[in-house]
Amino acid sequence: MSTTHDDAPLAAQVRHLEAVLEERGWLAPGEIDERLDAFAAGGSPAHGAAIVARAWIDPDFRARLLADASAAIGELGFSMGGALQEQELIVVANDADEHHVVVCTLCSCYPIALLGPSPSWYKSEAYRSRVVRDPRGVLGELGLELPASTRITVWDASAESRYLVLPRRPEGTDDLTEAELAGLVTRKGLIGTAAV
């Protein structure tokens, strides 16, 4: 599937505005690119994985995370910062009966600070429209086959709220350290398109 976008007029306007701001001394040359690079570099799937690993080993943290995720992640030094306004983080936990998956049907709202830049498929119109109508089919296409008895709940992110999936802890991992557990968690698992 390919989509053609004619972004050239908008890109030219953005470059012009950036040049004017630099000429007036309101921005240093290249400052916008530097800030965007710093913002993108600050987010990483390792942050989300660390949150999940802590929830797997600490039941009290897990309870706080599910009750008020925005506050709980602060205990680990993370935030949803970087945006013009703080977004609410909502964590939804998979269990034996229910699997959660996240989408933004409007655009591609996504917790960059905790997952790094979003994957291209997450932003695609195909994923955004189809996962709501046929979540089991889309998950299967992405390599996740769930039992027919598993209920699938799709969460629609917005400008105000971002979601993170708390995957089920894999069996046979009781002897792993928190860091080793974090190493098992994938970005797809944090979105809900993989088991972990």
Catalytic residues, by residue number, are 104, 107-109
Residue 54 C-alpha from the chain's centroid: 18
SS3 assignment, position 88: strand
Distance CA 48, CA 122 (A): 17
Determine contact, residues 184/57, Cβ cutoff 8 Å: no
Determine contact, residues 45/183, Cβ cutoff 8 Å: no
Phi, psi of 153 (to 5 degrees): -110, 130
How many alpha carbons fall within 13 Å on the CB side of residue 167? 24
